[in-house]
Chain A
Amino acid sequence: MGAMVAGALRRGSGYGGGGGGFRCSSRLLAQSLRRFASTLVVAEHDGGFVKPSSLSALAAAEAIAKGNKISVLLGGFGPALHKAADHAASSHPLVSEVLVADSETLAHPLAEPWAELLHSVQQKGGYSHVIASSTSFGKNLLPRAAALLDVSPVTDVTAIKEPRVFVRPIYAGNALCTVKYTGEDPCMLSIRSTSFSPATEAMSETKVAPITQVDLSFLSEGTIGKSTWVNLTSQDTERPDLANARVVVTGGRGLKSAENFKLLEQLAEKLGAAVGATRAAVDAGYVPNDLQVGQTGKIVAPELYMAFGVSGAIQHLAGMRDSKVIVAVNKDADAPIFQVADYGVVADLFEVLDELLKKIPDKK
Chain B
Amino acid sequence: MKILVAVKRVVDYAVKVRVRPDRTGVETANVKMSMNPFCEIAVEEALRLREAGAAAEVVAATIGPTQSTDTLRTALAMGADRAVHVLHDPDPARPLLPLAVAKILRAVALQEKPGLVILGKQAIDDDCNQTGQMLAGLLQWPQGTFASKVLLDKEKQKLTVEREVDGGIETICLDLPAVITTDLRLNQPRYATLPNIMKAKSKVIKKFTPEELSVDIRSDMEVIEVNEPPKRKAGVILSSVDELLDKLKNEARVL
Q: Does B134 contact A (CB under 8 A)?
A: yes
Q: Does B198 contact A (CB under 8 A)?
A: no
Q: A223-B140, A304-B252 are in contact. Are A290 and B99 (CB under 8 A)?
A: no
Instruction: Identify the closest chain B residue to A165 (Cβ).
Output: B224
Q: A136-B166, A232-B168 are in contact. Are A343 and B227 (CB under 8 A)?
A: no
Instruction: Identify the closest chain B residue to A231 (Cβ).
Output: B171
Q: Does B145 contact A (CB under 8 A)?
A: yes
- Complex interface: chain B residues within 8 A of A136 (CB): 146, 163-166
User: Can you report 22 A-B residue pairs in the complex whose CB atoms are below 8 A from each other?
Assistant: A109-B165, A145-B137, A147-B133, A147-B136, A168-B127, A172-B127, A174-B16, A175-B227, A175-B229, A178-B224, A180-B222, A227-B172, A228-B172, A233-B171, A290-B167, A296-B122, A296-B184, A304-B254, A340-B232, A340-B235, A342-B236, A343-B236
- Complex interface: chain B residues within 8 A of A342 (CB): 232-233, 235-236, 252
Bound-state CA distance A139–B143 (Å) is 12
Contact A171 B254 (CB under 8 A): no
Bound-state CA distance A284–B245 (Å) is 30
Contact A151 B220 (CB under 8 A): yes
Q: A171-B124, A343-B235 are in contact. Are A356 and B168 (CB under 8 A)?
A: no
Q: Does B22 contact A (CB under 8 A)?
A: no
Q: A228-B172, A230-B173 are in contact. Are A321 and B248 (CB under 8 A)?
A: no
- Complex interface: chain B residues within 8 A of A344 (CB): 235-238
Q: Does B84 contact A (CB under 8 A)?
A: no
How near does chain B come to A137, taking the closest CB pair, in angstroms? 7
How near does chain B come to A275, taking the closest CB pair, in angstroms? 14
- Complex interface: chain A residues within 8 A of B222 (CB): 18, 179-180, 182
Q: Name A152's contact: one of B98, B122, B174 (CB within 8 Å).
A: B98
Contact B220 A321 (CB under 8 A): no
Q: A314-B16, A359-B241 are in contact. Are A179 and B223 (CB under 8 A)?
A: yes
Q: A136-B164, A289-B148 are in contact. Are A169 and B226 (CB under 8 A)?
A: no
Q: A144-B133, A314-B16, A345-B237 are in contact. Are A247 and B166 (CB under 8 A)?
A: no
Contact B252 A143 (CB under 8 A): no
Q: Does B34 contact A (CB under 8 A)?
A: no
Contact A325 B127 (CB under 8 A): no
Contact B133 A111 (CB under 8 A): yes
A-side binding surface: helix, strand, loop or mixed?
A: mixed
Q: A143-B134, A175-B17, A227-B175 are in contact. Are A233 and B221 (CB under 8 A)?
A: no
Bound-state CA distance A233–B162 (Å) is 10
Contact A147 B134 (CB under 8 A): yes
- Complex interface: chain A residues within 8 A of B141 (CB): 226
Interface of A toward B, CB cutoff 8 Å: 16, 18, 109-112, 115, 135-137, 139-148, 150-156, 165, 168-184, 223, 225-235, 243, 247, 271, 279, 282-283, 288-290, 295-296, 298, 303-304, 314-315, 321, 324-327, 333, 338, 340-346, 352, 355-356, 359-360
Nearest 5 pairs between A and B by C-beta?
A183-B220, A147-B137, A234-B168, A143-B133, A143-B130
B-side binding surface: helix, strand, loop or mixed?
A: mixed
Contact A234 B252 (CB under 8 A): no
Contact B175 A155 (CB under 8 A): no
How near does chain B come to A106, taking the closest CB pair, in angstroms? 14
Instruction: Identify the closest chain B residue to A153 (Cβ).
Output: B130
Contact A179 B221 (CB under 8 A): yes
Contact B237 A346 (CB under 8 A): yes
Q: Name A143's contact: one of B98, B167, B224 (CB within 8 Å).
A: B98
How near does chain A come to B136, taking the closest CB pair, in angstroms? 6
Contact B168 A290 (CB under 8 A): yes
Instruction: Identify the closest chain B residue to A177 (Cβ).
Output: B226
Bound-state CA distance A136–B254 (Å) is 29
How near does chain A come to B24, taking the closest CB pair, in angstroms? 11
Contact A233 B133 (CB under 8 A): no
Q: Does B49 contact A (CB under 8 A)?
A: no
How near does chain A come to B182, taking the closest CB pair, in angstroms? 11
Contact B172 A110 (CB under 8 A): yes
Q: Does B73 contact A (CB under 8 A)?
A: no
Q: A171-B26, A228-B172, A343-B236 are in contact. Are A279 and B134 (CB under 8 A)?
A: no
How near does chain B come to A161, taking the closest CB pair, in angstroms? 9
Contact B242 A359 (CB under 8 A): yes
Contact B241 A327 (CB under 8 A): no
Bound-state CA distance A153–B99 (Å) is 9
Q: A143-B137, A183-B221, A345-B241 are in contact. Are A295 and B127 (CB under 8 A)?
A: yes
Write the B124-160 contact mask toward A (1 if CB under 8 angstroms, else 0).
Answer: 1111111111111110111111101000000000001
Q: Name B221's contact: one of A150, A154, A295, A327 (CB within 8 Å).
A: A154
Bound-state CA distance A175–B18 (Å) is 8
